[in-house]
Every structure is written in structure tokens, then in C-alpha cells.
């Protein structure tokens, strides 16, 4: 497994607002637009505060790879002293300290608002690769918490017969809900069929935005990109704002992926 440097300190202000209602013009409008047809920003079912179920293709793990417990929020720090490689919660309200010193378990994806600890086990006699695709939505079991959206494909390889915890970093699909925490639980969701989100992820497919693509010296670059991309997602899911030409140009000028 390729060793990856991880960031050691990150300031994060957790969104803890109570869910609020959508625009009054949306009240009573619970229709779900058919897949791959015109869709208005701010009216993606299940995202933002727009009603309806999240629409897409169910996500499934590869044969022989199973969940080894519950998917939980991971507003925590990895404890390298633990022989069981458990994660412990930091006792800070306004800040999350990342101290991931992994030998097997990994942090992958992009974003920050939704961080999930996904416990997996590979029951196969050979190494298995798990691919988390772009537009994957991990669904919060409680409507108090944000659903996570992945903007670019990421993957991990799990050794034969191994138990393996993946920390999956994602963007938030519901601006006015609480960020992930140790009290939040998630389920394997769907690969979103929203044409608006697909347009965004198609523009990012070859861009260097994933956490695992950045070295520690590129910390500032990662967080600058995260902040702007998070705003683009919230424009589409919550604010009812289409992807601007300025943002399209900014994406086009992002560094190309090295993986």
C-alpha cells in the first residue's frame, strides 16, 4: 500500500444549525424530476431541504467485501498508540485535529464536512479493490445530519482476509444540517443521477482534488480548493444557484491529477 502523508492540523467550524425549511415557493412541490432531464438548482430530491428521496443507482461493495459494523461519522483523530487501530474523539468543540499515522487504514476522498469511518472486511483469499465513485451519496440515517457527496472517484485496496477502516472524506449535500459526528450513522447510499451534480463531477474527473493526491506541503492548496468546491455544491443543493462561468473556468484551470 502506497504510504500517503496526511495533514496534522486543520481548523473546522462544524455546522450545527437545526434543519430549516426550503423556499416558500417550493412548498407543496414534491415531484421528483426524471433522471437525466432538466433539473433546477436547489431542487435536487433529498439534497438541500428539497423534499423526496435521493435518486440514483444503489451503491454496492465488491464480492467478498462486507461492512464490519456501522458506518459512523468520524469527527475524530486516529490514535496511533492503539493496537486495535481505533479512532478516538477529540475533546475540542471548534477544531478537529487530524493525526492519522496509518499503516493500513487510509483517508481518501475530498471535502471535509462529512467524514465517515467505514469498517470493511475482505473475506476473499486475494486483495480486493473498493471503488467509491464520483456522485456517491452516503445517506445519513437521521435527517438532522448532512448527507455526504463524493465529487471524484477514489479507491482503496484491502489485503486478503483483512479488516480495514476507511476514512472517507466527502462534501456536504445539506448546508443547514449538522456535520458528521460520532453520534451520526450512515448507510451505503446511491450513485446520484442528478444532471447538475454530474456536470460538476464530469468537470473534475481528471483534476487533482482528492485528499490522497496531496502531500503535506500542499496543504494550503487542498483547503483552498475544498472551500470553493464546497460553495459550488451548496449553490446547487441549497442556494438554487447554477454553476457559473467563472467557476467553470476556475475548475478548468485546476492542476491535473497525478494518479
Q: How confident is the model at residue 65 (pLDDT cuts 50, 70, 90)?
A: very high
What is the structure's pLDDT at 153? Answer: 97
Check pLDDT > 50 for residue 26.
Answer: no
* Mean pLDDT, the chain, integer: 78
Sign of CA dihedral 245, 251, 254, 257: negative
d(CA 178, CA 113): 9
Better-scored residue on pLDDT, 15 or 190: 190
pTM of the full predicted structure? 0.76
Helix 219-234 / helix 245-252 crossing angle, nearest 10 deg: 150
d(CA 228, CA 248): 12
- Which of the residue ranges 62-66, 68-72, 179-183 would you say has the lowest mean pLDDT? 179-183
For the chain, the structural domain boundaries read 38-252
Better-scored residue on pLDDT, 97 or 232: 232
d(CA 105, CA 100): 9
Nearest to 110 by CA among 137, 165, 166, 150: 150
Nearest to 89 by CA among 102, 72, 69, 101: 72
Check pLDDT > 80 for residue 235.
Answer: yes
Q: How confident is the model at residue 223 (pLDDT cuts 50, 70, 90)?
A: confident
Better-scored residue on pLDDT, 99 or 34: 34
Q: Which cell goes with 11?
A: 481548523
Partners of residue 139 on adjacent β-strands = 187
Check pLDDT > 60 for residue 115.
Answer: yes
* Strand runs labelled E in the chain: 10-11, 56-58, 65-67, 71-73, 77-78, 87-88, 95-96, 106-109, 114-122, 128-132, 136-140, 148-149, 154-158, 163-172, 185-192
What is the structure's pLDDT at 177? Answer: 86
Rounded to 5°, the CA angle 166-236-194 comes to 70
Nearest to 120 by CA among 75, 85, 144: 85
Cα–Cα distances in Å, from 202 out to 33, 70, 198, 243?
A: 20, 31, 6, 13
Q: How confident is the model at residue 112 (pLDDT cuts 50, 70, 90)?
A: confident
* Average pLDDT value for residue range 3-12: 33
Q: How confident is the model at residue 37 (pLDDT cuts 50, 70, 90)?
A: low
Q: How confident is the model at residue 216 (pLDDT cuts 50, 70, 90)?
A: confident
Nearest to 98 by CA among 121, 75, 73, 119: 75
Rounded to 5°, the CA angle 214-217-219 comes to 60
Report the SS3 class of residue 221: helix
Q: What tens digit of pLDDT does each residue of 39-63 get?
A: 999 999 999 999 999 999 999 999 9
Q: Cell 475530498 belongs to which residue?
A: 110
Q: How confident is the model at residue 143 (pLDDT cuts 50, 70, 90)?
A: confident
Amino acid at each position: 500500500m502506497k504510504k500517503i502523508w496526511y495533514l496534522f492540523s486543520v481548523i473546522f467550524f462544524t455546522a450545527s444549525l437545526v434543519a430549516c425549511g426550503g423556499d416558500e415557493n417550493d412548498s407543496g412541490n414534491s415531484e421528483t424530476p426524471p433522471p437525466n432531464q432538466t433539473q433546477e438548482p436547489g431542487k435536487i430530491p433529498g439534497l438541500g431541504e428539497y423534499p423526496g428521496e435521493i435518486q440514483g443507482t444503489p451503491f454496492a461493495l465488491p464480492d467478498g467485501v462486507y461492512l464490519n459494523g456501522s458506518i459512523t461519522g468520524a469527527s475524530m483523530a486516529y490514535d496511533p498508540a492503539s493496537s486495535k487501530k481505533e479512532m478516538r474523539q477529540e475533546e475540542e468543540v471548534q477544531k478537529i485535529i487530524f493525526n492519522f499515522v496509518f499503516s493500513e487504514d487510509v483517508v481518501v476522498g475530498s471535502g471535509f464536512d462529512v467524514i465517515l469511518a467505514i469498517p470493511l472486511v475482505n473475506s476473499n483469499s486475494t486483495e480486493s479493490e473498493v471503488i467509491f465513485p464520483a456522485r456517491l451519496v452516503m445517506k445519513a440515517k437521521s435527517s438532522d445530519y448532512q448527507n455526504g457527496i463524493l465529487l471524484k472517484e477514489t479507491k482503496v485496496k484491502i489485503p486478503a482476509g483483512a479488516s480495514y477502516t476507511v476514512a472517507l472524506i466527502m462534501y456536504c449535500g445539506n448546508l443547514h444540517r449538522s456535520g458528521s459526528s460520532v453520534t451520526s450513522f450512515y448507510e451505503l447510499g446511491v450513485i446520484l443521477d442528478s444532471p447538475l451534480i454530474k456536470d460538476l463531477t464530469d468537470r473534475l474527473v481528471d483534476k487533482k482534488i482528492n485528499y490522497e493526491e496531496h502531500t503535506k506541503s500542499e496543504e494550503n492548496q487542498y483547503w483552498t480548493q475544498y472551500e470553493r468546491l464546497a460553495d459550488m455544491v451548496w449553490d446547487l443543493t441549497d442556494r438554487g444557484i447554477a454553476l457559473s462561468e467563472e467557476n467553470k473556468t476556475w475548475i478548468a484551470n485546476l492542476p491535473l491529477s497525478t494518479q
